Amino acid sequence: MPPILHYSHPHSDRQLPCAAFALPGDPLAAGRVIHFHDPLQGYAAGSSVSVGANLLIERFPWVELGVVEAGELRLQGDGFDLQLNAGDCFVVPRGIDVRWHHRGQLRRLFMAFPGLEACSDMPKVPIRLDLSQPLSEASPPAASVLLTPTPNAWSETLFSVANLRIGLWQCEPYARKQVEPAYSELMFILEGAVTLAAGQGKTHVVRAGETVVVPKGATNAWTSEDTVRKVFCILG
């Protein structure tokens, strides 16, 4: 069973695996550590710590989601100028030209998707996710897996290409039994907290400001006692 990756706080206490894999032709290789690689789904997840950069990256080689944990990052190019700070989430589309610039230490988490092919509907500029975006009513978790009454849920997709969706999701408290996900998901918790009980008996309490990556096949149960609002990044 693949591991659940919990990027807890403080970051210095994290105990995460290291994958024997490097993204080929990686323009951001300096300081990047890959904690999990799925060759079948074609993605890698991990963390990066780098000190100072001023790179002109031509035709960014894949779609990449970033969560800024510390520091500041500026992305510039034709028609865009994004200033990103701690707590921001952003998406760099495949194929764009971008100047990647930061002074001092930048600490971030990422999911990179080299397996996604270029497509005509790929955005032409990077996106900073609006974490306060109003949400629409969404389907709740399936009644067949719930251990509590059906909660209300809301969601909004902010980036979508091929079988990748990135957006916001909010849900009232609930508990569900263990399920084996048919997709891989990164969750950056914005409000509330969730307890994920993994199939092998390990429990992760993921609080606001923390991130968790649940690979396809990583059996887990969900319990939340408060409303949870999160960024989701789903591949599947």
- 137: β partners: 154
Instruction: Give me the residue spans of the domains in the chain.
Output: 16-128, 136-235
- What confidence tens digit (pLDDT) does each residue in 212-226 have? 999 999 999 999 999
Looking at the chain, the whole-number percentage of residues with pLDDT higher than 90 is 96
Which pLDDT does position 120 carry in this prediction?
86
pLDDT along the chain (236 residues), means of 10: 95 94 97 97 98 97 98 98 98 98 97 92 96 97 97 98 97 97 98 93 94 97 98 97
> HSE of 160 in the Cβ direction (CA atoms, 13 Å)?
8
Q: What's the pLDDT score for residue 199?
A: 76
CATH topology of 16-128 equal to that of 136-235? yes
**Residue 64 near residue 106 (C-beta atoms within 8 A):** no
Q: List, in order, residues 6 or more apart from 226 with CB less than 8 Å away.
A: 173, 191, 192, 193
pLDDT at 200: 73
CATH domain 136-235 topology: Jelly Rolls (2.60.120)
pLDDT of 27:
98
pLDDT at 201: 76
What is this structure's pTM?
A: 0.96
CB 79 within 8 A of CB 93: no
**Matching CATH number, 16-128, of 1.10.150.120, 2.60.120.10, 3.40.50.150, 3.30.365.10:** 2.60.120.10
Lookup: tokens for 139: 């389907």
Q: How far apart are CA 79 and CA 81, in angstroms?
A: 7
What's the pLDDT score for residue 48?
Answer: 98
